[in-house]
Amino acid sequence: MKILVALSGGIDSSTVAHLLHEQGHELIGVRFLLWNDPLAPALAQLLPSKCCNAQTATRAACVAKQLGIPLHIVDLQEEFKREVVDPFLEEYRRGLTPNPCIGCNRTIKFGKLLELMEELGCEKLATGHYARVARERLSDGSDRTILLEAADAAKDQSYYLYGLSQEQLSRVLFPLGNLRKQEVFALAGHFGIPFDRHYRESQDLCFFPEKTPKEFLKRHLRDDLRSGRIVRRDGTIVGSHQGLPLYTVGQRRGLGIGGLKIPLEVVAKDAQKNTLIVEEKGRERLASVRLKELRWISWLPREGIPERFDCRTRSLSPKISGILRFAGSSGAFRFDHPIGPQAPGQSLVVYRGEEVVGGGVIE
């Protein structure tokens, strides 16, 4: 089979390429150039971005050379800025906490990769994601592709893939979906891939080098950051913030408030008053959340009729049970037991067992 392999230069995609090559497939490699922060050229030399740096580029080229396969380098920096970075910054301006990885997977990674797959005459696209796909026969005789959690729960990335369409999922391969990370390390050693167990994995947001987006936001939203008060629900002033975009609902660390027996957490942001609202951890609980931009992968729940599902509000958080009701692309998820504050802009992903049914954005 002729397969397009996404080669980031990391251990996962490199192992995928070796696995498929060993199985006798005809491979073509591709690596995207996505981002080079124009506001941090000096920083890039000291602490390179997680997705596009000289080290991973060299590794990808080495893997392609070792396997004797062509490697296409595709510059998508303009598209990545327009489709991922600019919306990310705009949502922070609006007081939200976006999850750009989900949109990036749908429009950039899988959108552009599948276009290239067709252009190059390949039958499938393979990536190093930790997730699984399977075909399922329906009662009417038709088939559908379902998205499943990875075998390695600690590395599962299915949460970030709920935005993919049935057509996209039907054309991809996730060779690592049934493997655990330790097995991938063992395979990498077997194939002679030059990595050690302490290499830096590109997890979470890849387009800034720091661990959190705070410094990135400071660079790109400098004109939108105005200091203001941190208050409790009763109006008591407990501190000052450096600009609302730098904080997210549910945040406890980095508030600059100490000396309290019970730590405080962010429960809301008041943009009109430029005020950050906090309360004691665990004091405010949510019985339900409203959802927008609902997407279904391969199975459509009955509109207007409550359905019981599990969900996640973060990629590797424990599943939460509850009831979903929706109409069109909007809905609400009521939890069996109230949970802590949830950041508007984050995604709630719906599961039926190990199958990812779909998801939406928390309002």
Active centre residues (catalytic):
104, 206
* Residue pair 173/13 in contact by the 8 Å Cβ criterion: no
Distance (Å, whole) CA 224 – CA 218: 9
**DSSP state letters, 311-359:** EESSTTSPPEEEEEEEETTEEEEEEEEEE----TT-EEEEEETTEEEEE
Residues shown for the chain: 363
First to last CA, the chain: 44
Distance (Å, whole) CA 222 – CA 39: 11
Q: Counting beta carbons within 10 angstroms of the beta carbon of residue 215, is it exposed (0 to 12), middle (13 to 18) or buried (19 or more)?
A: middle
From residue 301, alpha-carbon distances to 168, 183, 334, 358 in Å are 20, 36, 16, 10
Residue 57 three-state SS: helix
Distance (Å, whole) CA 255 – CA 264: 8
Question: 10 Å Cβ neighbour count for 222?
Answer: 10
Rounding to the nearest 10 degrees, give the CA dihedral for residues 152, 31, 62, 179: 10
Distance (Å, whole) CA 84 – CA 78: 10
* Type of residue numbered 173: L
* Type of residue numbered 107: T
Distance (Å, whole) CA 99 – CA 161: 12
**DSSP state letters, 148-175:** E--S-TTT--GGGGTT--HHHHTTEE-T
